[in-house]
Copies of this chain bind each other. A is one copy, B any other.
Amino acid sequence: MRFIFYVLFLVITGKVTAQESHPKLILTAEDVRGIRENLGTVPIFDNTLEKTVTEVDAEMAFGIDVPKPEHEAGGYTHERHKRNFLFMQKAGVLYQITGQGKYAQYVKDMLLLYAQKYPTWGLHPSKKSYAPGRVFWQALNDANWLVYTSQAYDCIYTFLTKKERSHLEQDLFYPFAKHISEDSPQFFNRIHNHSTWATAAVGMIGLVMDDEKLIQQALYGLKNKEDAVAETALDNDGGFIRTAGKLGFIANLESPFSPDGYLTEGPYYQRYAMYPFMAFAVSLYNATDDTNLFTYKNSVLVKAVGALLQLSNQKGEFFPINDAQKGMSVYAREIIAAVANAYHYGNQDTSLLSVAKAQQRVSLDSAGFAVALAISKNQEQPLKKKSVVYGDGSTGEEGGLAVIRAENTELLYKFTSHGLSHGHYDKLSFMYYVNGEEMVQDYGLARFVNIEQKNGGGYLKENTTWAKQTIAHNTLVVDEKTQFDGSYKDASAHHSNLLFESIINPKAQVVSAIEKNAYPGTIFQRTFFIITDDELQNSLVVDLLHVTSEKQHQYDVPFYYLGQPMEHNIDLLSEKQLLPLGSEHGYQHLWKIAEGKSSNRLMRFNWLNKNVFLTRTLLNQSGDRYILVRTGANDPDLNLRTDPGLILRRNATHTTFISTIEAHGSYSPVSEFAVNSRSQVKDVRAEVTTERYTAVSVTLTSGKQFLLAVANNTKDKSKNHSLTFGAETLSWTGPYYFKSIQ
């Protein structure tokens, strides 16, 4: 709160308290002295420094090239300019730390070339972006350039003469900042990670140049251009550009973050946005003495780092919700920097040190040094990955997501709001991991980031036609249509709701959420129980999907297992020729491999993946059909992976899909031993399935039984329930019931 007043004060008085000494962004003169004094005594920092010297020396030996912009992502000029800003930043830092003039000279030479050429470049020749850059095909990458280059400039500021600085500022930095701000309000004035980059870039160069106007624009947006963009304007991802009344860096810090630090776009984009959030916050802190954005909104920036770490699987890879490329992880450079900043400018949480230690690299700045120093003193504590439930939206009340962890199991359950333009239509979907490996997957995005062969590294058309569609996710599809009928506007107006959660009792964790708007007239509630028990090889997932509708619908519930089917009890009829499963809403991308019914009360599907045996057991109903599919249809450019899936199709009004998922055994191709290759679940029974209650019993082969019940469509924690079936009467208080019986 203190900050808000301070900012208001700034606005009113126009006074900027930026320090005059340099450097002042990610390093200060005082920090530099401390670092120099301790060189050789702080292993991780020293190692990073050594690696960086090697890298930068090799790059300097290669020579400087500032080519006329021509290519998109992955192409030469794009990658060259990207390397340029990354290496200028590194060289600038090396100049400060080592004191060797050659590094400053390298930055200076390159900046002078940019200052000479930039004014001659018009817009980038690619016309694809809603906000084109001049160096890169999109202004976003230009903003990346300035965020990094402002640090380089800050580091060599005192190495330059006043005349040189004046030349660089007038011919390069001011026009550069103008292009990504005043000349591109559709890019600068948004609530979006694009604008975080844009405002941070302008703010950081403003701090270096001590230009109050730029700093104000960065913090609060272009007030004069608030209406410059049409309300219906869309970006390249089909997202709305305007968010009425919200603009500038502070608004971007305020709006998309939940109080717990979850960014509505999901961890892949949160990782990407963390860098400018952090870099500008650090710069403001160092350059102004008293502007500490790290305490803003109850330290949301620090919490955001914790949330990012929790939103990664056992291998450290982010759960790929929304448009997310798989494999991105806590080892990314943005997270290396974010962890250090959260530690140093936050509350010195020593569990962050263990992450930094695993990363084996720190940022070469004040924060990275502090982290390395603390590690050298063995101050790190293990980071505890635990079950978490994050709210979505600025108040945390717009749905959310949960990661339920138990032993080697991780289940991500998504009931968020739409998540801006990179959001998917996947309310109440899940993904399931064992040992950090995807066992039931979310497809992720249809894009190969920075690989030029694939549409210049940009989004592929299949991202829209497949990856965003509901059928691409492990959730309910009604009448073969995408949720919200694929309308971004409608999807953005709604969110799912958490009904209840309990992740305290390790024996039985439960999270339940409801979705009322994705399919008008159809309400669906999904409850996941994760049961952990000595008699189970691994934790057992129980999935209760309760659907209510007055009208008859076709319900599809896809299940994107990864691996090789071992056995099942479906009377599958393999197709002699394959056809796409449908013609729109993503169905056109699925080959129909086989279809069949099961004559058993329980449908069983057993498969092997990454040397783990798994089984899904599902309460079969007469008329249920099972469709084996594989992605890759209508994909002339071979953009899609070809992954398998099993769709359950049921025609019903009200119905409950009851199933379990378990990892119960292992295989070794070296010893050729198969251990517990078959399910530990002997029986699943629907004891009660009414509009008001769902009660299920699960019996293990060992004889042990679990009883689970949900009072449907309520979150009331104080209400008493009583339910009788057979000889059993369950009485409990609150929305759910769990009991284990030997």
Report whether A669 and B326 are in contact in the complex, using a CB–CB cutoff of 8 Å: yes
* Complex CA distance for A630 and B638, rounded to whole angstroms: 13
Stretch at the interface among A131-139, A337-345, A559-567: A559-567
Report whether B74 and A674 are in contact in the complex, using a CB–CB cutoff of 8 Å: yes
0 or 1 for each of A509-549: is its CB under 8 Å from B? (1 = yes): 00000000000000000000000000000000000000000
Minimum CB–CB distance from A643 to chain B (whole Å) comes to 9
Report whether A453 and B578 are in contact in the complex, using a CB–CB cutoff of 8 Å: no
Interchain CB contact (< 8 A) of A677 among B74, B332, B564, B670? B74
Report whether B671 and A333 are in contact in the complex, using a CB–CB cutoff of 8 Å: yes
Interchain CB contact (< 8 A) of A329 among B79, B608, B634, B670? B670
Set of chain B residues within 8 Å of A677, measured between Cβ atoms: 74, 451-453
Set of chain B residues within 8 Å of A594, measured between Cβ atoms: 636
By beta carbon, the residue of chain B nearest A335 is B670
Report whether B451 and A608 are in contact in the complex, using a CB–CB cutoff of 8 Å: yes
Minimum CB–CB distance from A397 to chain B (whole Å) comes to 33
* Complex CA distance for A19 and B98, rounded to whole angstroms: 75
With an 8 A cutoff between CB atoms, is A331 at the interface? yes
Interchain CB contact (< 8 A) of A564 among B577, B641, B673? B641
Set of chain B residues within 8 Å of A329, measured between Cβ atoms: 669-670
Report whether A328 and B673 are in contact in the complex, using a CB–CB cutoff of 8 Å: no
The range of chain A's interface size is 35 or more
Report whether A591 and B578 are in contact in the complex, using a CB–CB cutoff of 8 Å: yes
Set of chain B residues within 8 Å of A670, measured between Cβ atoms: 327-329, 331-332
- Interface class of chain A by DSSP: loop
With an 8 A cutoff between CB atoms, is A737 at the interface? no
* Complex CA distance for A467 and B541, rounded to whole angstroms: 37
By beta carbon, the residue of chain B nearest A454 is B566
Report whether A667 and B564 are in contact in the complex, using a CB–CB cutoff of 8 Å: no
By beta carbon, the residue of chain B nearest A574 is B636
With an 8 A cutoff between CB atoms, is A579 at the interface? yes
With an 8 A cutoff between CB atoms, is A572 at the interface? yes
Minimum CB–CB distance from A680 to chain B (whole Å) comes to 15
Report whether B457 and A674 are in contact in the complex, using a CB–CB cutoff of 8 Å: yes
Interchain CB contact (< 8 A) of A578 among B325, B567, B577, B672? B577
With an 8 A cutoff between CB atoms, is A593 at the interface? yes
State which residues 561-603 of A face B: CB under 8 Å.
564-567, 572, 574, 576-579, 591, 593-594
* Complex CA distance for A638 and B573, rounded to whole angstroms: 11
A451-B566, A608-B448 known; A632 vs B669 contact (CB < 8 Å): no
* Complex CA distance for A457 and B630, rounded to whole angstroms: 26
Minimum CB–CB distance from A665 to chain B (whole Å) comes to 10
By beta carbon, the residue of chain B nearest A457 is B674
By beta carbon, the residue of chain B nearest A635 is B574
* Complex CA distance for A684 and B673, rounded to whole angstroms: 48
Minimum CB–CB distance from A516 to chain B (whole Å) comes to 36
With an 8 A cutoff between CB atoms, is A606 at the interface? yes
Report whether A672 and B325 are in contact in the complex, using a CB–CB cutoff of 8 Å: yes
A565-B638, A574-B635, A636-B572 known; A451 vs B674 contact (CB < 8 Å): yes
A564-B638, A591-B578 known; A450 vs B673 contact (CB < 8 Å): yes
Set of chain B residues within 8 Å of A327, measured between Cβ atoms: 669-670
Set of chain B residues within 8 Å of A450, measured between Cβ atoms: 672-674
With an 8 A cutoff between CB atoms, is A644 at the interface? yes
With an 8 A cutoff between CB atoms, is A642 at the interface? yes
Set of chain B residues within 8 Å of A332, measured between Cβ atoms: 670-671
With an 8 A cutoff between CB atoms, is A113 at the interface? no
Report whether B448 and A566 are in contact in the complex, using a CB–CB cutoff of 8 Å: yes
A564-B638, A636-B574, A642-B630 known; A672 vs B608 contact (CB < 8 Å): no
Report whether A451 and B669 are in contact in the complex, using a CB–CB cutoff of 8 Å: no
Set of chain B residues within 8 Å of A123, measured between Cβ atoms: none
Report whether A669 and B325 are in contact in the complex, using a CB–CB cutoff of 8 Å: yes
0 or 1 for each of A431-467: is its CB under 8 Å from B? (1 = yes): 0000000000000000011111110010000000000
Q: Known contacts A450-B672, A576-B579; can you find 13 more A-B pairs with CB under 8 A?
A: A79-B674, A327-B669, A331-B670, A448-B566, A451-B608, A452-B677, A453-B678, A457-B674, A577-B578, A578-B591, A594-B636, A630-B632, A630-B642
Could you list 13 A-B pairs, sorted by A, with CB under 8 Å? A74-B674, A329-B669, A329-B670, A449-B669, A449-B672, A450-B673, A451-B566, A457-B674, A574-B634, A574-B635, A574-B636, A577-B579, A642-B642
A: which residues have CB within 8 A of B? 74, 79, 325-329, 331-333, 448-454, 457, 564-567, 572, 574, 576-579, 591, 593-594, 606, 608, 628, 630, 632, 634-636, 638, 641-642, 644, 667, 669-674, 677-678
